[in-house]
Amino acid sequence: MTLVELTEKIVKNIVKDEEGVSVKEFPSDNENEIIIEVLVSSSDIGRVIGKNGKVANAIRTLVQASSFLKDNKYVKINIDEF
C-alpha cells in the first residue's frame, strides 16, 4: 500500500462524504520529501483536522511511521477543503 492509498483510507474512514475525498501526491524540490494533498468537503474539514489539530497530527504520525518503514522519506500532508 502506498502512502497516498494509506492516507486516503484513513481519511475516508473519518469523513461522512467519502466521495468528496481527494488525495494526491505532488513532487517536492527535496528528493527526501513527499508532499500529499488531502481535499475534503467543507462539511468534513472539522472531522479531519479535529480539535486543536489532534486528528490531523495523528494522520501525519501514522503516514510518517509507514514512510520510515518503507522509503525513509519525510512526509508533509496538507489538508484543505473545496
- Parse the chain into domains and list their residue ranges: 3-81
Q: What is the pLDDT of residue 12?
A: 95
Q: What is the pLDDT of residue 55?
A: 96
Given a cut of 90, whether residue 35 has pLDDT beyond it is yes
C-alpha cell at 41: 468537503
User: Among 62, 78, 76, which residue's Cα sits nearest to residue 1?
Assistant: 62
C-alpha cell at 11: 481519511
Question: At the topology level of CATH, where does 3-81 sit?
Answer: GMP Synthetase; Chain A, domain 3 (3.30.300)
